[in-house]
Amino acid sequence: QVQLVESGGGLVQAGGSLRLSCVASASGRTFSRYPMGWFRQAPGKEREFVAARGWSGSSTYYADSVKGRFTISRDNAKNTVYLQMNSLKAEDTAVYYCAANLGVVVHTKASEYDYWGQGTQVTVSS
């Protein structure tokens, strides 16, 4: 069983930065092998893809809306994936979730991910 715990959300002014963290605990599994993703869901909207990264970083994807502002990274030794968010906008306000896919392909669809964290709220004031 994989457990994912996000942290780092909060309230920030437009133009500011936040860094989200997601720590994975995976009994009997090697977390470093799995592609990891970040998704977000704003009130009244569907969950949407933000960023995803394979274990080595050779496959990294971003939603167009965050490209150039957000960076996904991971520290496999710490079983942690990060989302550095810069130049935040009011439209970035959402609950942010990290997710793990127990395969090898890096996906951008939420349905392809097997495990999810509980989410962390990010609120950007304009």
- List per-residue pLDDT tens for the chain, 126 residues long: 789 999 999 999 999 999 999 999 877 777 778 899 999 999 999 999 999 999 887 899 999 999 999 999 999 889 899 999 999 999 999 999 999 998 888 999 999 999 999 999 999 999
Q: Residue 50 in contact with residue 83, Cβ under 8 Å?
A: yes
- The two beta strands, 18-26 and 36-41, are unpaired
pLDDT of amino acid 99? 96
Strands 10-13 and 70-75: unpaired
Report whether 9 contacts 20 (CB < 8 A). Answer: yes
Angstrom distance (rounded) from CA 116 to CA 36: 10
